[in-house]
């Protein structure tokens, strides 16, 4: 039997098996068409799942309010189900495939009675390219199906790609009863399978996103010699017409989308600087024929954090979500337009994310801190002409960035790839509302992949080192940034947003073999003149504080990193401990 027919038959067999177990009233194969989307959204408006927004101001757009207990990723309910617990590593929750299925199979039994089973074929990555991966999500949520149409290349295009690839990732999802005690997001790397039950929130239910494109893809990347990363991709073109492509890893809600869609200040635009968006969240990096790492954005849409997004912070994101967008857990104004904190002055009255009357005097926020917009990437004004290039774009620099109010400088460059891997492995950030836990609590988030790596983190770091060995001198330069350092009075030392362009310009200069730098124990940092800080009105004291390397703080940081590395036992690459010891020596 030829591969395409075998794959198609396997898909039909799997759908039939799932339908026999879940017993839906109807089965619908999604084709991704406009007509289908209208039918889905009309039905959800009719049953109250969606609220239709002002057609003049937000054409083709809707508001969804999720269950109040289902508003974020649940890391404690997310599992890697490989055969050997050691292979999952200390940062992942583990159950054996057999034990997890013993829990999940009874939950899925008959769970779709009275519901429709949606078969959602999708492609991650530009179709036709080596990087493209086919997945099929079976779900009983029309909200998930509508989101997947925006976030992936969904429908007929996926079935066509399946006929070329001959393989697909399986994703089985049900909203269940939305109870937390029955909530599981389980990954089975050995079977290329995802099973998600009792959630309707983005990362838990849109299985093509974090589940497929990161957790399972990271395992495939290790096996096949590439990288699946939680990274934006941006192209920065200088006045000479040279484009530098940068990939950047930031934990959720730490400014990643703002950087991916950055609008250069007018003075920079006048000089000829431009910024274009290739991707805002996930990057798949493979070696091209020229030996350089090339990156594709596997997604087709943006799943952006709404609060804080405004004309000042990210006008391109606002333009992206003005039409054909699904908003989740934002506030609704009387004229059927959306609002969230940071968008504009608060309206006199609106309906909050829970569906209740809200005024500026209310004792809670109108929009949930992790409220979202799902918008087509093609609507972004800064979208690159190459964002759907099957070959990807050549990556010149990789940037790591967490949210640190102290200790970590604004920007510095790694000495080499091994040092850069160490920077990624020890990246730490203050928690945000995108993950459960105490907001502001500091934790290590290596390469911003802590919640998303599908196997042992120490093996993941070794894979990074191995990739660097393979790429040699053609590997990208590596940087670490921190937009969030604060002064003693609590104010931010760096203005951020559009002025982050100054940092990107220095990175571009360094990639082109230019740009002055000062060597520090941490790496190479730009001079005050390189960032044109006099133009910003940053005084000399604050400028010095932005780059301060306090010896005592950093020796304590080295000790914390040693304790962090201790978690990984004898699987920790010796190179990383060596890098930490070398930092101590430089500080001394």
What CATH number does residue 331 fall under?
2.170.8.10
Last residue of a domain, one of 373, 400, 428: 373
Q: What is the pLDDT of residue 341?
A: 98
**What is the reported pLDDT for 287?**
98
Judge if 522 and 546 occupy the same domain: yes
Confidence category of residue 442, pLDDT binned at 50, 70, 90: confident
In the prediction, which pLDDT does 522 show? 98
Residue 291 known to bind ligand: no
7-60 tens-digit pLDDT = 889 999 999 999 999 999 999 999 999 999 999 999 999 999 999 999 999 999
* Residue 459 in marked binding region: no
Strand order in the sheet with 517-519: 274-279, 231-237, 243-249, 397-401, 477-481, 411-413, 524-526, 517-519
Query: Domain for residue 412, yes or no?
Result: yes
Predicted local distance difference test score (pLDDT) of residue 1: 45
Are 293 and 328 found together in one domain?
A: no
pLDDT at 439: 57
Residues acting as catalytic residues: 254
Is residue 234 a contact partner of residue 278, using CB atoms and an 8 Å limit?
Answer: yes
In a domain, 64, yes or no: no
Residues 255 and 401 placed together within one structural domain of the fold: yes
* Domain-embedded: residue 537: yes
**Residue 340 is assigned to a structural domain of this protein:** yes
Residue 292 marked as a ligand binder: no
DSSP structural state of residue 346: P
Nearest residue to 204 (alpha-carbon basis) of 226, 176, 229: 176
- The total number of structural domains that make up the chain: 3
460 lies in some domain? yes
| Whole-number Å distance between alpha carbons of 80 and 144 | 22
Q: Is 73 annotated as a binding-site member? A: yes
Q: Mention every residue, 6+ apart, whose C-beta is less than 8 A from residue 541.
A: none
Say whether 208 counts as a known binding-site residue: no
Are both 78 and 215 inside the same structural domain? Answer: yes
pLDDT tens for each residue of 193-226: 999 999 999 999 999 999 999 999 999 999 999 9
What pLDDT, on the 0 to 100 scale, is given for residue 289?
95
pLDDT digits (tens, 9 = 90+) for 475-526: 999 999 999 999 989 999 999 989 999 999 999 999 999 999 999 999 999 9
- Same domain for 337 and 395, yes or no, is no
Model confidence at 437, pLDDT cuts 50, 70, 90, reads low
Verify that 475 and 536 share a domain, yes or no: yes
Give dist(CA 306, CA 338) in Å, integer: 10
Q: Are the beta carbons of 362 and 352 closer than 8 angstroms?
A: yes
Residue 555 is assigned to a structural domain of this protein: no
Domain identity same for 153 and 240: no
Residues 472 and 438 reside in one and the same domain: yes
Residues 6 or more apart whose Cβ sits within 8 Å of residue 560: none
The whole-number pLDDT of residue 7 equals: 83
Please indicate, yes or no, whether residues 418 and 545 belong to a single structural domain of this protein: yes
Q: What is the CATH number of the domain that holds 431?
A: 3.90.228.20
- Residue at which a domain ends, from 224, 252, 280: 224
- For the stretch 95-130, pLDDT in tens is 999 999 999 999 999 999 999 999 999 999 999 999
Residue 574 lies in a domain: no
Q: Output the pLDDT for position 536.
A: 85
Residue 39, domain member (yes or no): no
Same domain, 82 and 112: yes
Check residue 549 and give its pLDDT.
Answer: 96
pLDDT band for position 2 (cuts 50, 70, 90): low
In the 8-state DSSP scheme, what is residue 473? G
| Model confidence, pTM | 0.96
Please tell me whether residues 408 and 498 are part of one structural domain: yes
Note down the domain range covering 198.
Answer: 3-30+72-224
pLDDT digits (tens, 9 = 90+) for 346-369: 999 999 999 999 999 999 999 999
Could you tell me if 239 and 266 lie in one domain? yes
Task: Give kind and range of the element (H or E) at residue 318.
Answer: helix 315-320
């Amino acid at each position: 039997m030829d591969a395409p027919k075998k794959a198609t038959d396997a898909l039909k067999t799997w759908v039939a098996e799932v339908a026999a177990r879940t017993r839906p009233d109807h089965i619908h194969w999604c084709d991704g068409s406009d007509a289908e989307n209208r039918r889905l959204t009309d039905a959800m408006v009719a049953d109250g799942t969606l609220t239709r927004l002002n057609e003049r101001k937000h054409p083709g757009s809707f508001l969804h309010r999720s269950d109040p207990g289902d508003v974020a990723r649940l890391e404690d309910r997310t599992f890697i189900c490989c055969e050997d617990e050691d292979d999952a590593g200390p940062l992942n929750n583990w159950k054996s495939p057999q034990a997890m299925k013993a829990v999940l199979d009874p939950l899925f039994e008959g769970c779709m009675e009275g519901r429709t089973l949606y078969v959602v074929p999708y492609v991650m990555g530009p179709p036709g390219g080596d990087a493209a991966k086919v997945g099929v999500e079976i779900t009983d949520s029309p909200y998930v199906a509508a989101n997947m149409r925006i976030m992936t290349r969904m429908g007929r295009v996926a079935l066509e790609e399946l006929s070329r690839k001959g393989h697909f990732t399986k994703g089985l999802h049900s909203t269940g009863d939305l109870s937390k005690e029955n909530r599981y997001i389980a990954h089975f790397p050995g079977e290329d399978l995802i099973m998600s039950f009792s959630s309707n929130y983005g990362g838990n239910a849109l299985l093509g996103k974090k589940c497929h494109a990161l957790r399972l893809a990271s395992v495939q990347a290790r096996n096949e010699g590439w990288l699946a990363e939680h990274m934006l991709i941006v192209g920065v073109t200088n006045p000479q017409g040279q484009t530098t492509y940068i990939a950047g890893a930031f934990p959720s809600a730490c400014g990643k989308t703002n950087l991916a869609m950055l609008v250069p200040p007018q003075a920079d635009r006048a000089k000829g600087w431009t910024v274009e968006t290739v991707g805002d969240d996930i990057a798949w990096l493979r070696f091209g024929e020229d030996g350089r790492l090339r990156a594709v954005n596997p997604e087709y849409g943006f799943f952006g954090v709404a609060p804080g997004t405004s004309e000042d912070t990210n006008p391109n994101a606002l333009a992206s979500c003005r039409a054909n967008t699904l908003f989740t857990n934002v506030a609704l104004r009387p004229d059927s337009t959306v609002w969230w904190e940071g968008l504009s002055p608060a309206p006199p009255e609106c309906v909050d994310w829970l569906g209740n009357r809200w005024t500026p005097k209310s004792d809670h926020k109108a929009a949930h801190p992790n409220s979202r917009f799902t918008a087509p990437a093609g609507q972004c004004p800064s979208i690159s002409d190459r964002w759907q290039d099957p070959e990807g774009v050549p990556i010149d620099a990789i940037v790591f960035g967490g949210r640190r109010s102290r200790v970590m400088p604004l920007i510095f460059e790694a000495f080499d790839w091994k040092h850069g891997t160490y920077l990624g492995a020890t990246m730490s950030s203050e928690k945000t509302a995108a993950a459960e836990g105490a907001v502001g609590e500091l934790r290590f988030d290596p390469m911003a992949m802590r919640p998303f790596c599908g196997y042992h983190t120490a093996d993941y770091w070794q894979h990074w080192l191995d990739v660097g060995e393979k790429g040699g001198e053609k590997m990208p330069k590596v940087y670490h940034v921190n937009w969030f350092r604060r002064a003693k009075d609590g104010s931010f030392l760096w203005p951020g947003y559009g002025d982050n362009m100054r940092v990107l310009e220095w990175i571009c200069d360094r990639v082109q073999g230019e740009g002055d730098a000062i060597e520090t124990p941490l790496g190479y940092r730009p001079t005050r003149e390189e960032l044109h800080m006099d133009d910003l009105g940053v005084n000399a004291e604050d400028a010095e504080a932005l780059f301060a390397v306090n010896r005592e703080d950093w020796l304590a940081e080295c000790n914390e990193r040693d304790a962090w590395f201790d978690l990984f036992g004898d699987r920790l690459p010796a190179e990383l401990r060596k890098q930490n010891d070398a930092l101590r020596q430089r500080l001394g």
